[in-house]
Amino acid sequence: MKEFKFDVEAVRAQFPACQLKVAGEPIAYLDGPGGTQVPQRVLDAITGYLINDNANEGGNFGASHRTDEVENLAFAAAADFLGCSPQEVGFSNASTQHSYNFSVNIAKTMSPGDEVIITEIDHQCNSQPWRRLGELGFTVKTVRLDPETKQLDFDDYMSKLSDRTKVVAINWAANAIGTVTDVKRFIDAAHEVGAVTVVDAVHYAAHKPVDVKAIGTDVLLCSPYKCFGPHMGLAYMDEKLLASLSFNNAGAEDIAEGSRKFHMGTPQYELMCGMIEAVNFIADIGEKYADCFEDELQGLEGRRRNVVAGMMAIDEYEAPLAAKLRQALYEIPGVTVYGPAEGEERTPTVAFTMEGHTPEEVTEVFGARGINSWHGDFYAIETVAALGLADKGGLIRLGLAPYCTEYDIDRTIATIREIAGV
Ligand SMILES: Cc1ncc(COP(=O)(O)O)c(C=O)c1O
């Protein structure tokens, strides 16, 4: 296997935002879990569509024909990103919109007394739509987050799962603290009782390759704007579930096929063009580093192979930088890091608090120095409450992306040490 050496400068050269400075320093984009920057090719694809091909679909003229083609290319790119067929993917404004859309339409197949399971480690996107179903007479049960291990409590899950459970909505990677859940174990148990599974992969998909067929979920949510694309939602729905549901989409449900069934009105074609290029950007990284991951790529071909290799390369680059940041934080007095134990699978997202300084105060200092970061609960409200931080301003969150550098991390550590007075 070839030695892995990631060329971060080659990545940065593709991102116009990486050329920007604050106070004479290149901006450290550690705000990635809230949304990543975009490469030039994504921008060009969006403007190129709006200049040359801007139309609705299904017409008898060039731009409309090309728009039909854009939609097909977008389905193909999304399918390569998630490891499924192009008929099983669709788009929306955001994952939260997909989540509401799916919950309303899956609920039509349920009866009062049926149960839904959500978790304390979820973003509101994957819990709030289901919680609202409680108003319709369904029981909603919440799986506990173990505040010690920062993992979901599988025994608690099993105690709540029954043949009344119709939906299990679960998170793959926690956007607040980076915990990666063994979702396949939860999905297999849900399928034993005949429940539909919805996996929120919004945070996971930004750092690790997704294979929807390998985990066997019925539904999966992710958001291209977390993975170098434009602001939009991308969802997978298994063909059989898709065929069994009817969607509310202003009459088009009768004529729409495959995942077009869950498009609500005219989709964002220009953003689809950007999404295609975000997938191609990942695939190009993969092509460069595929030799380093030969074993893991066995049996994969074409762009799917390169996408998987690309995400593996991104993970391999980000993880040690995040580990360096965590190790430095562990040694600073008054800093508490929140996340799974070292050695557990995780994303390169580092959450912490600082004694004597609210998260908002810390991110204000970062912001003034061009270190972009987030503070608060990031809509992972139950996670932050389970950690006992709901009334303390939540967490400070720093997240890696493949355009972040070791210099960004060193500068951030120095700033934290300065705030801590050490
Ligand atoms: C884990 C997770 N799920 C869901 C969402 C919501 O995604 P969207 O903004 O596309 O609705 C986010 C956004 O931060 C997230 O991190």
**Interval 202-222: pLDDT, tens:** 999 999 999 999 999 999 999
Give distance in angstroms: CA of 3 to centre of ligand 1. 34
Distance, CA of 275 to CA of 145 (rounded, Å): 33
Confidence of residue 254 (pLDDT cuts 50, 70, 90): low
Rounded CA-CA distance 390/395 in Å is: 9
DSSP state of 299: T
94 lines ligand 1 (CB under 6 A): yes
Over residues 123-152, the pLDDT tens digits come to: 999 999 999 988 888 999 999 999 999 999
What single-letter amino acid sits at 331?
E
Look at residues 215, 239, 272 and name the one whose alpha carbon lies nearest to residue 66. Answer: 272
Cα-Cα-Cα-Cα torsion 156, 395, 417, 11, nearest 10 degrees, comes to: 90
303 close to ligand 1 (CB < 6 Angstrom): no
| Ligand 1 centroid – CA 170 distance (Å) | 13
**Measured CA angle at 149 (ends 405, 378), to 5 deg:** 55
Q: Which two tokens stand for residue 360?
A: 């908002």
Query: From the CA of 221, how far away is ligand 1's center (Å)?
Result: 9
Query: What does pLDDT average to over the chain?
Result: 95
Q: Which residues contact 168 (CB under 8 A, 6 or more apart)?
A: 116, 117, 161, 186, 187, 190, 195, 196, 197, 198
Atom of ligand 1 nearest to the CA of 378: 14
96-116 confidence digits (pLDDT tens): 999 999 999 999 999 989 999
Question: Residue 421's pLDDT is what?
Answer: 97
Residue 223 Cβ inside 6 Å of ligand 1? The answer reads yes
Ligand 1 geometric centre to CA of 323 (Å): 24
Domains annotated on the chain, with CATH: 8-38+306-420 (3.90.1150.10), 44-278 (3.40.640.10)
